[in-house]
Amino acid sequence: MPAALTTSPTPTADEPADDRAGQRAGGPARAAWWRFGLLVLLLGACAGSLLLWSPTDLLSGGLADRMPGYWFAPLFTLVYAVGTLAFVPRPALNAVAGLLLGIQQGVLLAVLGTTLGAAMAFALGRGLGREALKPYLRGKVLGALDRRFTDQGFRSVLVLRLLPGLPFQAGNYGAAFSGVRFLPFLFATAIGVVPTTAVYVTAAASADQPGSAAFLVSAGVIALLVLGSLVGLWRAAAARRRA
């Protein structure tokens, strides 16, 4: 039989077709991991920037006196949001809001700053990290969580925000890497952070009156939140030991 009938057409390029196909398949994967590396660098830079500045010091160090009144609220919200990206604990930022602004304005701007910070983190995580980590969401546990956040995004994020002790940024990037949509994530965050924000802002705003009902109630709730976080950590450690 002639050789032309028994052999496949060979590619005209210098490299084999299989190699070119592998390169085409590997190109998007490499790009996704480059974006993930950029995300890690950006978050590291945000955290490292705290060596040069402190959001809490900036917010409480006469910011209101140096800025016109109509600029103060937007700037406070922005500094708060960037502070969350730099992994500053929200209780510290909320305490500054309470000390500086009082209960009503402090809660309002702290919730706005929290929501803006969550939106920024979600945008970074979804744009730079999801594609690289998506293949790892196919396991039994992570796959089930991904489906839950995709199908019940608002409810899942709301529960996430109400859980005591869960790190704020872990919730942001966990949601960003899942299939939850942006608007349900944003609205659930804005609603879900109100209770804890109000507690910490109220405790700080009323700290000069330790015998007041506002301080005693808020301090008691904070103690319960800390206790709930410790119990959650203990149960998680016990579950890992059993596993």
Using 50, 70 and 90 to split pLDDT, how confident is the model at 26?
Answer: low
Residue 62 falls within a domain, yes or no? Answer: yes
Asked if pLDDT for residue 172 goes beyond 90, the answer is: yes
pLDDT at position 232 is 59
Residue 162 falls within a domain, yes or no? Answer: no
The amino acid at residue 161 is: R
- 96: containing domain: 54-128+191-234
Burial readout 146-164 (b: 16 or more C-beta within 10 A, e: otherwise): bebbeeebbebbbebbeeb
Residue 74 falls within a domain, yes or no? Answer: yes
Using 50, 70 and 90 to split pLDDT, how confident is the model at 240?
Answer: low
Q: Are 182 and 205 in contact (CB under 8 A)?
A: no
pLDDT at position 183 is 95
Four-point Cα dihedral 79, 60, 195, 228, nearest 10? 100
Q: Are 132 and 39 in contact (CB under 8 A)?
A: no
**pLDDT mean over 108-116:** 96
Does the reported pTM lie above 0.85?
Answer: no
When divided into structural domains, the chain yields a total of 1
First-last CA distance in the chain: 63
Residue 78 falls within a domain, yes or no? Answer: yes
Q: How far apart are CA 199 and CA 215, in angstroms?
A: 9
